[in-house]
Chain A
Amino acid sequence: KAGVTQTPRYLIKTRGQQVTLSCSPISGHRSVSWYQQTPGQGLQFLFEYFSETQRNKGNFPGRFSGRQFSNSRSEMNVSTLELGDSALYLCASSLEQGEGREQFFGPGTRLTVL
């Protein structure tokens, strides 16, 4: 069974630009979560989607948005990029929502904002 895939793996942008990151979950998984990881900060929760609905959102500005499609694939968008948005963006999928015991992570997209 293929794992979680994320594209692109690396991205370099400049301040003020926008970016769209993509995540394809494991086949059959309907829940997708997004996290931002920076050194020393752990994983900061961005969003969780289930069956095309955003179930929860973390404490990030409105420049961060996302969506989930009917095939469970998900995208997140960051507009008006700032230097502080440089981070590893991780996507994770799980079979169901609710208790959500185990999440399977993709390799991440490394975003650098210059």
Chain B
Amino acid sequence: GQSLEQPSEVTAVEGAIVQINCTYQTSGFYGLSWYQQHDGGAPTFLSYNALDGLEETGRFSSFLSRSDSYGYLLLQELQMKDSASYFCAVRDGTGGFKTIFGAGTRLFVKA
């Protein structure tokens, strides 16, 4: 089957840098995505990594190591509005395509 592990909660201060890790197990890996979800809102796409390395989009960066089945989301210059849940998700091709989400990491940004 497929499984993803990510921390349940992370707390950081405004202006700091925070890293949210994600490890996964799957046999039909295509890529790793990250989504942000504010309370009461829908998940919104942040980034996608299909190949090893770092992808940067503004204050957010995402990293993937396929050999280690590991990725992370890096958030820089944290702002209060970054307080949300962050989900890693694996695109898996086993038995037909599907996207499997982790349980999510709740990020609290303090002043």
Is the CB–CB distance between A45 and B96 below 8 Å?
A: no
Contact between B87 and A43 (Cβ–Cβ < 8 Å)? yes
* Count of interface residues, chain B, beta-carbon cutoff 8 Å: 23
Residue of A nearest to B101 (CB): A43
CB distance A56 to B45 under 8 Å? Answer: no
Assign chain A's interface to a size class: 20 to 34
Q: Which of A42, A45, A98, A108 has the most CB of B within 10 A?
A: A42
Q: Which of A42, A97, A107 contacts B103 (CB 8 A)?
A: A42
With a CB–CB cut-off of 8 A, which chain B residues contact A106? 42
Residue of B nearest to A33 (CB): B99
| A-contacting residues, B1-60, CB 8 Å | 30-31, 33, 41-45, 48, 50
B interface SS class: strand
Q: Is A23 an interface residue (CB 8 A)?
A: no
Q: Please tell me if B102 contacts chain A, counting CB pairs below 8 Å.
A: yes
Does B71 make an interface contact (CB < 8 A)? no
Binary flags per residue of A29-59, CB closer than 8 Å to B gives 1, else 0: 0000101000011111100101000011010
Given contacts A42-B103, A43-B87, A99-B30, contact A56 B42 (CB under 8 A): no
Report yes or no: B99 in contact with A100, Cβ–Cβ below 8 A. Answer: yes
Residue numbers in A under 8 Å from B99 (CB-CB):
33, 45, 48, 100, 103
Chain A: minimal CB distance from B6 (Å): 9
The 8 closest A-B pairs by CB, nearest first: A56-B96, A42-B103, A105-B42, A43-B101, A56-B98, A55-B96, A101-B48, A102-B45
Residues of A within 8 A of B (CB): 33, 35, 40-45, 48, 50, 55-56, 58, 90, 92, 97-108
A99-B91, A100-B91 given. 10 additional CB < 8 A pairs? A35-B101, A42-B87, A42-B103, A48-B98, A50-B97, A56-B96, A58-B98, A92-B43, A105-B44, A107-B41
Q: List 11 A-B contacts (CB under 8 A).
A: A35-B101, A42-B103, A43-B43, A43-B89, A48-B98, A58-B98, A90-B42, A99-B31, A99-B50, A102-B45, A107-B41
